[in-house]
Structure 1
Amino acid sequence: MTAATTPADDIGELRQRLARLDTAALSDALDSLHAPPCVLPGIRPRTPGTVACGPAFTVRYRPLDHDTRGFRNAADYIDEVPAGSVVVVDNGGSTTCTNWGSLLSTVALHRGLSGTVVHGSVRDVTESRAAGYPLFSTGVTMVSGKNRVVLDRTGASVDVGGTTIDPGDWIVADDNGALRVPAALAGEVLRRAEAVDRTEARIRAAVLDGSRLDAARARFGYARPWEDGGRDDGR
């Protein structure tokens, strides 16, 4: 089921469990499924130590026709974003102007959004960090998007460096970067990523208890950690 058709309680549980995992475990799980490209290339954390996790609300910009007269706001869409969503903004990775600032972070926090990923630039990072808002982007600049870009549309598929994101796909971003979990695979990716976490925890515990790393990896199924294999019987 997609996020749009999954019951709210199930979405809440899925979000809580996904948010407890790091993107490394999720990436391993996606690899095991031979999923299409899911990493969002070039996306970096602007509020270190935070996690964005939720269904994607997609936003696409286009350059403003410079012959246009009068003031043109960059966009007004934030009031339509459902709580718990991750806003995914596509401005083609441009570093020439911003698509997110502190005012949007304030509104997003107030509305209960889970975070923002910008394929482009953001500004006012000090304020977003102070507020603890999960913010990720390609670049940072002080230059406003006003009178430079306009909203193309919301709710459409966007391309972030070759990775297609459809509305409702799950986005998880942390200090490692950002990735997409296709909505149709979210449940299976979660199951496998949790198994990866358990496998690595067992290997770590065994090494700290005196085991050789190669022996611990062999014992607990490091080659296929999503299968949750190996032995806990001490042999």
Structure 2
Amino acid sequence: MKDANVVRASQLDTATISDALDKHGLVGQCYRIMPRSNTFRMAGRAWTLMYGPAGSPPGTVGDYIDDIDEDTVIVLDNNGRTDATVWGDILTEAASRKGVAGTVINGVNRDVALCIELNYPIYSLGNWMRTGKDRVQVEATQVPVNIGDVRVCPGDLVRGDADGVVVVPRAFEEQVLASAEAIQTAEDEIRHSVRGGLSLRDARAMHGYHNLQTRGHDE
């Protein structure tokens, strides 16, 4: 059975969820984390992993993919490093075959061509080819991590589209999703009114546009 709130999030774009996060005073917009293709879309629950610099001897970079459930978003914190990758073609193919929703990286990935070919969503700081093997190692899994200056905890709601990634803390998702849905409805009505000949100024006033993202304002 599909997670109802994941389905709700998948029907909202990240800009709308971002406005709802602002309305509730929450930071969930992952700064500079962008899709490797503007066609990528994803929604799911976060499964988290934290990397650190490799020790001597170096530890593993992880065979965690075998344990990931479908519709999960894999969230990898490599401390913002851009000099070594933590995701490549083998992981992309395995995740795609398992039905994983996507991958978010505080760092970089490689083998971009395959993720685009398979339409497997990857969001990261960029891409580069140098491996993380013997350069990074797994420190912990299923712990709070930092992605683009956002705290991401296991089970948080993650949504990605062409504009980037937003994260909704599990404890606030009902409020945020309800606000996002209200914002989307109002904006749809504004567009409909403008198409019907109303001025943008009047359409915004009619549908309360200027209060949509105001913190604490009742919709």
1:225 CA drift (Å): 3.0
Match status 1:127 vs 2:114: yes
Correspondence for 1:28 among 5, 15, 19:
19
Structure 2 residue 130 is matched with structure 1 residue 140:
no
Pick the structure with greater CA Rg. 1
- Aligned pair count reads 216
What is aligned with 2:43?
Answer: 53
Following TM superposition, by how much is the alpha carbon of 1:74 offset from its aligned partner in structure 2, in angstroms? 2.0
**Partners of 2:36 and 2:126 within 8 A in 1:** no
How much has 1:82 moved relative to structure 2? Answer: 2.0
- Whole-Å separation in 2 of the counterparts to 1:164 and 1:194: 23
Q: Which runs of 5+ in 2 are unaligned?
A: none
CA distance in 1, matches of 2:137, 2:24: 38
Q: Indicate conservation of the 8 Å contact 2:33/2:148, yes or no.
A: no
1:163 paired residue number: 150
Secondary structure at 1:95's aligned position in 2?
strand
Say whether 1:204 aligns with 2:194.
no
CA distance in 2: counterparts of 1:201 and 1:119, whole angstroms: 34
Cα separation, 2, equivalents of 1:107 and 1:124: 14
Equivalent position of 1:91 in the other structure: 78
CA offsets, 1:46-98, max 9 Å, x none? 13212121111001111112x427xx652211111222110000001101011
- Does the 8 Å CA contact 1:55/1:167 hold for their aligned counterparts? yes
Tell me if the contact between 1:196 and 1:228 (Cα under 8 Å) persists in the aligned partners: no
Task: Give matches, 1:61-80, under 5 Å.
Answer: 61-65=51-55, 67-68=56-57, 73-80=60-67
Secondary structure at the counterpart of residue 146 of structure 2 = strand
What is the root-mean-square deviation of aligned Cα atoms in Å?
A: 1.7
- Residue ranges of structure 1 left out of the alignment (5+ in a row): 1-8, 230-235
Secondary structure in structure 1 of the residue aligned to 2:210: coil
Please give the TM-score of this superposition, normalised by the length of structure 2: 0.93
1:17 aligns with 2:4: no
Q: What is the SS of the residue equivalent to 2:167?
A: strand
Task: Give the CA deviation at 1:224.
Answer: 2.5
| Residues 46 and 135 in structure 1, CA contact (< 8 A), matched pair in contact too | yes
Q: Deviations over 1:145-187 (max 9, x none)?
A: 1111111111011112432111111111111111110001112
* Matched-pair identity in %: 36
The equivalent residue for 1:40 is: 30
